[in-house]
Amino acid sequence: AQSVAQPEDQVNVAEGNPLTVKCTYSVSGNPYLFWYVQYPNRGLQFLLKYITGDNLVKGSYGFEAEFNKSQTSFHLKKPSALVSDSALYFCAVSYYGNNRLAFGKGNQVVVIP
Amino acid sequence: DGGITQSPKYLFRKEGQNVTLSCEQNLNHDAMYWYRQDPGQGLRLIYYSQIVNDFQKGDIAEGYSVSREKKESFPLTVTSAQKNPTAFYLCASGPVLSNYNEQFFGPGTRLTVL
C-alpha cells in the first residue's frame, strides 16, 4: 500500500520569498515520488520526480524537491516565488512493480504580489 | 496537456442517465487511467488499463465502466448507479510499467448532474 500526506491546505507566500510545499509519504519498499501542478480547470502538469540517486531533484519552472528517506518526506521548494506560481500542487508516490500513483489531497499555493 | 484530449470539456447529466466521457491519446502509451477529482480530496483512481482489451478497477470503480478496444482510446461511462457523479474527471496515460515514469494528463471534463 502507498499513501501521501500534504498537511497544509493552503500556503500563502509573498512574491519573491521562498516557497515550500510539504509532502510526506508511506510506501512498501523504495519510493518513486512525483510533484504535479494544476491550474484552474486544467489537467495536471508534471514538475519533477525522484527515482534514485541525488536527493535534490531539479524540475521545471525553477522548482526543486529534496528527498529525505529518514523523514519520509519530499518537500517542493522554489527560492523566489512568482505570482504565476499560484496554483494547486499535488505530491504522488509509487513503487517498483506498481503502476498506480497515490496522490495527496493537494496544496493551494497563493503568491501575494 | 500533451497529446491527450478529453471531450467534452463540460457535461451535464440528468438523473438516471448514463453519460460517456471521451479520452484519446497520441503518445503511443500502453497504460491509461481515469481519475476523479473532488475539492479537498485529491485524485482518486477509478479504472486503469495497461493493455488493449484489459482493464482493472481502481479505488472507486462502483458506478463506472470503461472499455479499451484501441490503444489510443479509453472512454469512461458514468452510469446511473453512480450516486454522486458531479466532479472533475481526468484521464492520463503513461508507458506500461510506468511506475517510475510520469503520467501525462488530459485537460479534464467537468460533469454536473442537474
Nearest one of B40, B80, B84 to B60, comparing CA atoms: B84
Q: What's the rounded Cα separation, in Å, for the pair B42 and B59?
A: 13
Classify residue A34 as exposed, middle or buried by CB count within 10 Å of its CB (0-12, 13-18, 19+).
Answer: buried
- Interchain contact B106–A (C-beta under 8 A): yes
Q: Do A99 and B103 touch (CB under 8 A)?
A: no
Could you list the beta-strand ranges (E) of B4-108.
4-7, 10-13, 19-25, 31-37, 43-51, 54-57, 64-66, 76-78, 87-94, 104-105
What 3-state DSSP class applies to A72? Answer: coil
Residue pLDDT, tens place only, B49-83 = 999 999 999 999 999 999 999 999 999 999 988 88
> Which one of B6, B31, B43 has the shortest CB-CB distance to A103?
B43
Cβ of A58: how many Cβ atoms within 10 Å?
Answer: 10
Residue pLDDT, tens place only, A31-51 = 999 999 999 888 999 999 999
Residue pLDDT, tens place only, A46-102 = 999 999 889 999 999 999 999 999 999 999 999 999 999 999 999 999 877 777 889
**Cell numbers of A11, please?**
500556503
| Distance (Å) from the alpha carbon of B89 to chain A's nearest alpha carbon | 9
